[in-house]
Chains A and B, each alone.
Chain A
Amino acid sequence: MAELSANAPKTENRPSALREFWFYFSENRGAVIGLWVFAAFVFCAAFAPLLAPYDPTEQFRTHILQPPVWQEGGSWAFPLGTDPLGRDMLSRLIMGSRYSFFVGIVVVVVAVSGGVIVGLLSGFAPKWVDTLIMRVMDIILAFPSLLLALVLVAILGPSLTNAMIAIAIVFQPHYVRLTRASVLAERQKDYVTSARVAGAGRSRLMFITVLPNCLAPIIVQAALSFSTAILDAAALGFLGMGAQPPTPEWGTMLAEAREFILRAWWVVTFPGLAILVTVLAINLMGDGLRDALDPKLKRS
């Protein structure tokens, strides 16, 4: 109910919506840890060229498959070792955070904005339009998401941009359904009727009266999609249908390293670990967001 209380007239002793949010969010210790890890990830992505010791595509031919520093044969010049082409793993991982962050942001923004608009329309439109939209969404949901994304990329041609488009399309129906469900619940309430009686037009009702009260579940879903988008983009990269080599995208790095798994554990372990830690941090944060924003699940 954080949003509702923000709209209500404020009394002096009531904590602000943000403070109330932080109170519930910080109760979940995992969520706070997740937030810190995510902040580090964003920092890495933002300042990648400054943080990375080398250019991620620079090949040191004399240092091919050098192990990490703590293993015999490693050196501080390449703290996490080098890959089969003699490129610095650390630099590639740091640059890779940019691609994953970018994928997460673009997919979530496209999927949420598209899904919310279609969901709002569906909730306010006449019955037959609503039915039509929901059937189309059912059709998209009938395909396993990774498979549909894979086929879409096969149509569009393999690249990171196309992978992002495909993943955003596949995620769309979740937001449409979520928004529509909240809209249908909110529309019955008295404050919407009173706004309508007061003469609010349809678009005002949709975007200004109803939408802010539907946001809580959408924000939670957006946080969770951010991590799923990173996972799916990495999976597509791993299958050779996402970012193309020599892009230091984490999934693509894993695909390139596959044949060396039994000879050089570090070329396989680190990119996957980077994906896992990032996704885990975002999921932890998502759990905290849900506790803080979703009144039904609050303190359950």
Chain B
Amino acid sequence: MFGYFISRLGMFIPTFLGVTLISFMFIRVLPGDPIIVMAGERGMTEERYQEMVKKLGFDKPVLQQYWDYLTGVMQGDLGESFVTKKPVWDEFFALFPATLELSICAMIFAVALGLPAGVIAAVNRGKFFDRALMSSALIGYSMPIFWWALLLIIVFSGNLGWTPVSGRIDLLYYFPSVTGFMLIDSLLSGQAGAFQSAVRHLILPTIVLGTIPLAVIARQTRSAMLEVLGEDYIRTARAKGLSPTRINGLHALRNALIPVITVIGLSVGTLLAGAILTETIFSWPGIGKWMVDSIFRRDYPVVQGGLLMIAVIVMLVNLLVDVLYGIINPKIRRR
């Protein structure tokens, strides 16, 4: 097990270095002089220009620049935003809880509906339920989520007036951020109605972000269940006279879960990519909206830092999934 862990970690380090190299190169492959681009239409004096060159280290050899960047990254220094002048690292962690909260809710939504849907489809293979569920799953999988979001807004916010269109909570409520998670903070604040408001703001973004993972999980659960249901030990369980619920729910689902867990782990990238669209549409103050806004504002240190942080998060989760997988499934370790 230890050897497997070390070899997996050995793959992590070069990939990490490569990711830092890509984010390092980002600012340098931009067409034109990045400093002029930063200055925008106002332009800048020669003095200020030289100052910026020094500050960004553009006067040093490229290798030296990369080394400085890398050592900076290891110490949590991702540079400063051009717009807010705050460290990118601090901004990232100030906004990250919003994205994390939304992603966790979306994942709970996807698993809570996707797992039963997959199991029901597999058990009723070829029958009406299977067809209906799998057709819906395929539609969900093919859904342009930015359009899905607009449709839900038209119906639930426009026609029915049930849910708000943007933000995390009504402006009426104000309380200090303790955990960064609006659901927990609103409960802690003790203000009447704050928690309900936070929940109502979360519903539509959760559905939108969870739709594609939901479809993927439902399809994956169905095929994993079908594979497991054909195994000998299931036949034994049937022969023993166990109830179908017990066989499907306990014996089959438990083993079908292994590939499903992998899919859940690998959905983190999908979730973060989906967060870009979802957060932009619902004005959700998280990482995705922050990245899109920064791209439009040409706030390059933010784009660079955010790109790196997101990639590192995806890589860490993948590493975690692989290690967990090694623990659950001993066959993997020996490869």
Contacts and interface: CB of A to CB of B under 8 A. Distances in A.
Interface of A: 30, 135-136, 138-139, 142-148, 150-151, 154-155, 157, 227, 231, 234-235, 238-241, 251, 254, 258, 261-262, 265, 268-269, 271-272, 275-276, 279-280, 283-284, 287, 300
Interface string B269-311: 1101110110010000000000110011000000100010011
A265 B150 CA distance: 10
Given A151-B307, A154-B295, A258 B226 contact: no
Contacts of B19: 139, 142-143
Interface of B: 11, 14-15, 18-19, 22, 26, 29-31, 135, 138-139, 141-144, 146-148, 150-151, 153-154, 158, 223, 226, 269-270, 272-274, 276-277, 280, 291-292, 295-296, 303, 307, 310-312, 314-315, 318
Given A144-B273, A262-B154, A275 B144 contact: yes
A143 B154 contact: no
Contact of A280 (B22, B138, B226, B270): B138
A145 B271 CA distance: 11
B144 A276 contact: yes
Contacts of A157: 31
Contacts of A148: 307
A143 B307 contact: yes
Given A155-B26, A268-B151, A276-B147, A143 B292 contact: no
B11 A144 contact: no
A231 B71 CA distance: 38
Nearest to A241: B295
A254 B276 contact: no
Given A150-B295, A287-B138, 7 more contacts: A30-B135, A139-B15, A148-B307, A150-B276, A251-B146, A262-B154, A279-B142
A268 B150 contact: yes
Task: Specify the main secondary structure of chain B where it touches its partner.
Answer: helix
Contact of A283 (B31, B138, B273, B277): B138
A231 B146 CA distance: 10
The 10 closest A-B pairs by CB, nearest first: A272-B147, A139-B18, A144-B273, A146-B273, A279-B142, A280-B142, A144-B269, A262-B158, A142-B311, A275-B144
Contact of A147 (B151, B280, B291, B312): B291
B66 to A, nearest CB: 15
Contacts of A254: 146-147, 150
A231 to B, nearest CB: 6
Given A151-B303, A269-B151, A284-B138, A239 B277 contact: yes
B147 A147 contact: no
21 contacts: A135-B14, A138-B18, A139-B22, A142-B19, A143-B19, A143-B310, A144-B269, A144-B276, A145-B273, A146-B276, A147-B272, A147-B310, A148-B307, A151-B303, A155-B26, A227-B142, A231-B144, A261-B150, A265-B154, A268-B154, A275-B147
Contacts of A268: 147, 150-151, 154
Nearest to B304: A151
B304 to A, nearest CB: 9
Interface hub of A151, A265, A284 (most chain B Cβ within 10 A)? A151
A150 B314 contact: no
In this complex, the member of A148, A272, A284 whose beta carbon has the largest number of chain B beta carbons within 10 angstroms is: A272
A256 to B, nearest CB: 12
A154 B141 CA distance: 27
